[in-house]
Amino acid sequence: MKFPILIVVVSVILCLGTACTAKKDLVTENIPSNTVSSTDGIWQQEGYSRIIELKDTMIAVYDICKVHCSLSFSEHILDFGEIVTVNERSLIIKHGIDRWVFNKLDQLPEICTIETTSKGNDITHNFEVFWHTFNENYSAFDVKGIDWQEVYHKQKAKLTPNTTELELFLIFEEMIDLLNDGHVKMGVPDELLEGYKAHKEVMNTTPSKYNFLHELQLGEQIATLYVDSVRQGNGGMVRWGMINEDIGYVQVNGMVIQADYGIPEKVPFPDFYYNYARHADTRKDEPQRADEEAGMKKRMDEIITELAAAKSFILDIRFNGGGKDGVAMELLNHFCAKPQEVASKKAWEGNAIHNHQSIRTQPSSKRFEGPVYLITSHRTASAAELLTLGSLALANFTRIGSTTEGIFSSTLDKVLPNGWEYECSNEIYHDLSGNNYENVGITPDYSIDYPRDKDKFIEALYEELKLGKNEAIEKVLGRVKK
């Protein structure tokens, strides 16, 4: 969902890299001939506080807010997205399922031309940039009931001429914790992380008992309990099979790490991921995103074909923390009957709505149109919630489990003047009735009172397994028998 820093699915997993790809020619075949204009120039994006400068096939991306502007990164345009429309005034770039709108500027704003190198490590300036970025872009202050101006005065008062980088990071962490948003995070140098860990130990912060590997293992045990011959792909990111002669079961544990890089199917996840990352490291953002979507399409085409005898499906996304919106939609496309709008999204910038977009299904040629039972939990998040949101518009879906996490927005990735990377939620997703589920999540049709705490949730499922059952799947089996 973004210039995404890919979701961290387990603490030992490294983020997918962004190594450079070979130089490519600019592709413009989708641009209508009557609108072709030079893409070279300076363009301001609607809703994302970014300015881009295009020259030939290269793009420079600037982060901008009220108090700062700086170059964030440069890359080949095709690693950023595909130009689909351009004229003298506007430019549209396709990025995943998004179409980003840019308006032509005569020149860079003055704030982008002011020398700011001397402020790079200035503690107060970095604080101001961080606060203003959220003040101008964060889309959920209202639903969370947070007075960001009050936060500004309280947190800025902690700054002194002697504030260290670690102390600044802790101030930012306090502000991030207030937002309680799984899409808001910050990356800092390793030496600061060591100090941060030591601080957490002093504060007696208890680390989580379980990580993503435990969730994968738990998912495998659940699938094995009900499915006669479980198959899996991508190290367990997808599992499938028949529960009986009528019910197909598909467990999808992420909307990422789904590309087909030719790695053996049954390799344990840590080994699989090591090899997967080596392949992904040769790809940049947009090509790697396309790999993920193509991988999901290929996998689901295989599953729908293999489980053709199924009269209904269980789609289990309880351990799915999200990833790419396009992967989620590719999955949904295998369980819908017709092209239709299922949701919408828009961006928030400067107290105004921008870039309203319709999110639509495009049914796969290999698809199942019968009853689908979608199992969710509080761990169902981000792009997995987009699939859940889209399912609300499809009559063949029934949702079972607990409320999803409530973090829909793609991450708006930014860089502070001191080089620290951080992410902000700047988008609002709606169902077809205009409901916004940010911060509250989507409540299923049939609720199971799963604990919200991750460790307690996992332990509750383990306790069910000791009794030789899984409540969610048993609920589906009970409904299907009726």
- 359-370 pLDDT, tens per residue? 999 999 999 999
What sign for the dihedral angle of Cα 478, 479, 480, 482? positive
Kindly compute the dihedral angle of the four CA atoms of residues 9, 227, 221, 397, in this order, to the nearest 10 degrees: 50
Average pLDDT over residues 278-302: 96
On average, the pLDDT of the chain sits at 91
Max intra-chain CA distance, the chain: 71
Query: Distance (Å, rounded) from C-alpha 49 to C-alpha 321?
Result: 27
- What is the pLDDT, as a whole number, of residue 345? 98
- What phi-psi label fits residue 365: left (phi over 0), alpha (psi between -120 and 50 degrees) or beta? alpha
Contact 26, 54 (CB under 8 A): no
Q: Return the higher-pLDDT residue of 467 and 28.
A: 467
Please report where in the chains the tokens 């108090």 appear, as a residue. 67
Contact 470, 225 (CB under 8 A): yes
Kindly report which listed range (147-151, 161-165, 206-210) carries the lowest average pLDDT score.
Answer: 206-210
Q: Which domains does the chain have, with CATH numbers?
A: 34-113 (no CATH), 117-202 (no CATH), 212-481 (3.90.226.10)
Q: Which of 204, 276, 265 is nearest to 240 (CA)?
A: 265
- What is the pLDDT, as a whole number, of residue 463? 97
pLDDT at residue 26 tops 50: no
Kindly report which listed range (161-165, 262-266, 367-371) carries the lowest average pLDDT score.
Answer: 262-266
Average pLDDT over residues 265-291: 93
Q: Which of 359, 307, 306, 358 is nearest to 333 (CA)?
A: 359
Global pTM reads 0.91
- 32-73 pLDDT, tens per residue? 444 445 899 999 999 999 999 999 999 999 999 999 999 999
Query: Distance (Å, rounded) from C-alpha 73 to C-alpha 152?
Result: 28
- What is the pLDDT, as a whole number, of residue 37? 57
Average pLDDT over residues 289-305: 98
- What is the pLDDT, as a whole number, of residue 15? 37
- What is the pLDDT, as a whole number, of residue 364? 98
Kindly report which listed range (7-21, 220-234, 342-356, 398-412) carries the lowest average pLDDT score.
Answer: 7-21
The radius of gyration computed from the CA coordinates of the chain, to the nearest angstrom, equals 23
3-state secondary structure (DSSP) of residue 28? coil
pLDDT at residue 351 tops 60: yes
- What is the pLDDT, as a whole number, of residue 266? 79
Average pLDDT over residues 406-420: 96
Average pLDDT over residues 324-349: 98
